[in-house]
Amino acid sequence: MDKEEYKIIAVDRKHDLARRLESLFLGKKAIITRESNLDRVLERFETQPFDVLILTNSVFGQGDLSGIELLELITNNSPSTQILFLVDSQNIRMAMDALRAGSYHYARLPISDEELLLLIETAISKRPVYGTNLLLKNQRSRVIFEKLIGRSDQMQYVFQQIRQAAATDIPVLLQGETGTGKDLAAQAIHEKSNRSKGPYIAVNLGALPTNLVASDLFGHERGSFTGATEKRQGKFEQAHSGTIFLDEIDTIDEKVEISLLRLIEHKRFHRIGGRKDIVSNARIITASNQNLARAVEEGRFREDLFYRLDVFCITLPPLRERLNDISLLIDEFLKRFNHIFRKTILGISPECMSLLEAYSWPGNVRELKNVIQRAVLVCPGEVLLPEHLPDRFKHAKRHRPVITFEIGTSLMDIEKEAVVRTLAANRNNRKKTAAMLGISRRALYNKLDKHKIN
């Protein structure tokens, strides 16, 4: 057990099994993951491989997926995972079914620490060295891209666009609601580009006083205006050979728009109060939480500047349109704030998760991060409960995303998008998806095959 780190997932209605495993493997290289619902186990296997799956008979009826179906799926798609089944004496027949479905071994409850540890170590020592976890989707398995997190189709498309943008030096416009991660996307483009060794300069234009924006971007000469007691470099000079990220680009006034337009066209600018042209080699990425095309139509943003910034546009989706990413984000934030606050919170209760999934998230990922930070701080135990959430969640009504189509969209594309989005809204639960679409599960599987939806 000392040569490499093993990943063990414990599936039990309570936390006792996970706590026992953490105690048994204290000081040993093992990562213990806990789940209380069978439906979430598959989601775990879609994002990472596990060496051992340990489950008790108490969870066999806890989800739309049956225990036997889960065991068969894991056995067929992740052959290197050893499955251990812990069963009460009165449910011993379940153990026989579990063995036929692919379990490596079973043991009766209660089980001593010594026997449980021996059972796990034996399973690991006899673990097949071959076999790939086929539940890991080629693209979806990459749920963390730089600092962005998501396995949803929407985020996988964003990751693809970031790679494409990083391969060029063309201007990029990031659009999306507040809190969707536009700043993280800009950083990812920089880090993946050939400018990654150069500086990355971020400027929140909306946070600057209007009369200081030009000075902050282009710099100024001494005495050029009241208070300019010395010469100062602007952000474009600081970002030379690197990347400059201009957030809330829609807030700049017309004078700054003209100066920025000149810089983009001629690759040079001059400081305020200066006459000497300064060459600019910085890659420009801009962002806005407003619809810039509409701002142009309404005369609130220069059309010629818009077309020079909107060479490659990436739209960050709101969290309410990728609800199946919430559990991934919560996992990441739990790890982060457990470390910061020195807590040992193992997970989140189903009731608490239901409230989070029912919420519309107007503040998007940033709001979720703040909610989990607060919950971890106030939670005295090992599980986040509804009472650890702000009051607004107790009255949250389930939000159903809306799908819109342009006139002329083919029925084939409409059907595919409806299936994909409904699957995402139901966290890939196919039974609920079929019911929401008003079709049988068999019909749903036929449509998944027809549209080649994984």
Q: Give the mean model confidence (pLDDT) for residues 205-214.
A: 91
CA 436/CA 440 separation, integer angstroms: 10
CA 108/CA 56 separation, integer angstroms: 10
Q: Does the pLDDT value for residue 2 go beyond 50? A: no
> How crowded is residue 259: how many other Cβ atoms within 10 Å of its Cβ?
18
Taking only the tens place, the pLDDT of each residue in 43-98 is: 788 778 899 999 998 888 666 667 888 888 888 778 788 999 999 988 888 888 88
Query: Tokens in use for 383?
Result: 């599980």
Tell me, yes or no, if the two domains 6-125 and 144-315 fold the same way: yes
pLDDT confidence tier of residue 137, bands split at 50, 70 and 90: low
Pick the CATH number of 411-450 from 1.10.10, 3.40.50, 2.40.50, 3.10.20: 1.10.10
CB 279 within 8 A of CB 267: yes
Residue ranges of alpha helices (H) inside 126-201 are: 153-166, 182-192
Bridge partners (DSSP) of residue 82 are 52
Query: Tokens in use for 12?
Result: 């039990």
Give the largest CA-CA distance in the chain: 89
Pick the CATH number of 144-315 from 3.40.50.300, 3.40.50.2300, 3.30.70.20, 3.50.50.60: 3.40.50.300
CA 297/CA 283 separation, integer angstroms: 27
**Cα 121–Cα 122–Cα 126 angle in degrees, nearest 5:** 115
What is the side-by-side order of every strand in the sheet holding 82-88? 30-35, 6-11, 52-56, 82-88, 105-109
Taking only the tens place, the pLDDT of each residue in 335-385 is: 889 889 998 887 788 788 888 988 889 999 999 999 999 999 999 988 899
Task: Indicate the pTM of the whole model.
Answer: 0.63
Domain boundaries, the chain: 6-125, 144-315, 319-395, 411-450
pLDDT confidence tier of residue 175, bands split at 50, 70 and 90: very high
Question: Which candidate, 435, 450, 427, places its Cα nearest to that of 46?
Answer: 427
CATH number of the domain located at residue range(s) 6-125 in this protein: 3.40.50.2300
Assess if CATH 3.10.105.10 describes domain 319-395. no
CB 182 within 8 A of CB 165: no
**Cα 184–Cα 185–Cα 188 angle in degrees, nearest 5:** 90
Query: Tokens in use for 36?
Result: 């209380």
At 120 the pLDDT is 94
